[in-house]
Amino acid sequence: MPVSGQRPGPASVNRDGSGNRTGAHGEKHRHMTLMKVFVIAARALMVVAAAATLAMMLHVTADIIWKYLFIAPIRGTLEVVAGWYMVAVVFCSIAYVEVKEGHIVVDLFTRGLRPARLNALRTFNYALSAVYVGALGWLALEEAIRRTAQNEVWETVNGYLSIWPSRWLVVAGFAVLLCVFAMRSLNALRAARDPERVSFAGPEDAH
Amino acid sequence: MSSLQIGLLGVVAILALIAMRVPIGVALGVGSFAGIWAIRGFDPALGTLRSLPFEFVSHWSLSAIPMFLLMSAVASQSGISKSLYRAARLWLNFMPGGLAVSTTFASAGMAAASGSSMATAAAMGRLAIPEMLRFKYDKGLAAGVVASAGTLGSLIPPSILIVLYAIFAEVSISQMLIAGVLPGILTAAIYVIMIVIRCSITPSLAPKIEEKHDRAEKWRALAEVWPLPVLILIVIGGIYSGIATATEAGAFGAAAAFLIAFFQRRMSWKVARDSLVEACVSTGLVFFTAIGAILLTRFMAFAGVPFFMADLAAPISDQFILLVIGASIVFIILGMFLDPLGVLLLSLPIMLPLFEGVGADMIWFGIIVIKFLEIGLVTPPVGFNVYVIKSVVGDQIPLETIFKGVGWFIVCELVVVALLVIFPDIVLFLPSLMQ
């Protein structure tokens, strides 16, 4: 349900292709390389999310078929779906959502703002998002360390299911999303400071 | 400052953040965290934030959402909507406004394979609007019918919004999904009646198309849409009969959609990959926002807002209609600015205790909420389905014409809501048979 028509944009855009000072050019280059790394990380996580979605579909379908044809459901399906697949599908896709579509925003009240003010607002918004996601990620990391040390398991019909590995997917998802938000905030800050040379390259600018 | 004051101030702060174009999920999360911190202190607030995302997501019943989204993505990526529209067109062309009527039927059919209104509107818009414009249909009618009929996607199962409502309202997901069937059919029927009456009175709205198709061609077109009844049988039949839970029906439906597309030679590596990515992106989007909404629910509970709302409703509990009208005004206003997911997740923590307090049936209330979310999809200034249609038609139809065309359908929606309020059994009949 994307709202503000977001599409993937280049990591950083500088329409002034020549005449940059070496320092600024180098900074821009580093910036783009960093963003590329985060985009690759988000894509890698998306592969995990897609695989988990496919696995969930096949696992649950097999469970139904086994349940009704052979009166023998696959034990532990419920726990595997909830504890592994769901966690992977959701947390491994949230960073890619921001890279590809952008999380839901309402732009109705800010459409009339001048570019410099809009970019200042974007800097704040992305920074706030980064802080929020960073806090969620940090707390998830503490949880993951604690649960791993405890070897967290869920009890199932036929034994125990290790859950602690999926705690690390939460950390990975929030960490990459934090990086993407932080880069977007930096992009917006650069654009706010120097609107002549840098145009903002957030997801909502590409259409 | 009392907890209640902090609660109400928090809601205002969240709305302000949303208006400042902070992502809705972040606005809900940050505002709620700050509110819980103010009421309970820093450590309890941190404790809520620590455990909530994992606990909320690792839930069997919520897994229906990615499965419904996957089924919908496969169905739309593999081109089922094209066959559906063609079949509806060949069979219904004889009616006044035949193409518009066909679009309504095809959208209702597509809604049964799709969990999202905007996906239904986008798929149908690309097919139906160029056809209607080719035959000189009124532009407002052509765009209006697609934008409005697309909203059936959030009512006819599978529906992501209905699953989310059921989770928040703590009602049976299966019953809630089945409750959407009759209101969805009723809405489509009233749309068709309105189109036929308008086009009969003013034939220039939809010039008669002189096309002859032999019976064999019509049956061939109908035979091509056989996957749809199969998917409907799996999802709605499975849930209604109690054979499958919503997740099982969704997973089986998605697997069936893959197989059908494969046997119809519509499946390719690209279709499979795009469907999976589309389902994951939509899932990530929904859950990131929903995590914020769960935080808001906790914040509201700590602030005592549910009790406050229940107390507020007590004096007018015997004037139930007044309460429904009040809520509908709030939903319509929110729907003018926010997308349906935002409206649903922002309003439920506050609205649910109000209606629970006066003893309303939560399944019935859920369908009323979904109806208002549908209306919000087509009302200015931010009617998301209208924008979807605008992106499909480009410069051919101005935005104002689309909004004007949608006006007639909004009247139909209000008639349906009135019928659902007067005759709640339209909603409750099918779920009552499941108990």
Q: What percent of chain B has pLDDT over 90?
A: 40
Residue A205: pLDDT band by 50, 70, 90 thresholds? Answer: very low
Assigned token pair, B435: 């108990």
Contact residues on chain B for A109, CB-CB shorter than 8 A? 19-21
Neighbouring CB atoms inside 10 A of B167's CB total: 20
Mean predicted lDDT score pLDDT of chain B: 88
Q: With 70 as the cut, is the pLDDT of residue B362 above it? A: yes
What element of type H or E holds B347?
helix B340-357
**In this complex, is the C-beta atom of A136 within 8 Å of any C-beta atom belonging to chain B?**
yes
Is there a contact between B247 and A128 if contact means CB atoms under 8 Å apart? no
At A87-140, the pLDDT tens digits run 999 999 999 999 986 777 777 788 788 888 899 999 999 999 999 999 999 999
Residue A159's pLDDT is 86
Residue A27's pLDDT is 66
- Cα(B247)–Cα(B165) distance, integer angstroms: 15
- Cα(B278)–Cα(B13) distance, integer angstroms: 32
Q: With 50 as the cut, is the pLDDT of residue A1 above it? A: no
Contact residues on chain A for B295, CB-CB shorter than 8 A? none
The secondary structure of B223-264 as a DSSP string is HHTTHHHHHHIIIIIHHHHTSS-HHHHHHHHHHHHHHHHHHT
Is there a contact between B58 and A82 if contact means CB atoms under 8 Å apart? yes
How many interchain CB pairs under 8 A, A with B? 185
Residue B143's pLDDT is 92
Residue A202's pLDDT is 64
Q: In chain A, positions 143-162, which contact chain B (CB-CB < 8 Å)?
A: 143
- Cα(A104)–Cα(B22) distance, integer angstroms: 9
Task: Among A110-124, B218-232, B313-327, name the one with the lowest average pLDDT.
Answer: B313-327
At B255-285, the pLDDT tens digits run 999 998 888 888 899 999 999 998 999 899 8
Residue B82's pLDDT is 80
Q: Residue B60: which of A78, A110, A122 has the nearest Cβ?
A: A78
Mean predicted lDDT score pLDDT of chain A: 82
Residue B180's pLDDT is 94
**How many CA atoms does the CB half-sphere of A193 hold within 13 Å?**
7
At B294-306, the pLDDT tens digits run 898 889 889 988 7
Residue A56's pLDDT is 97
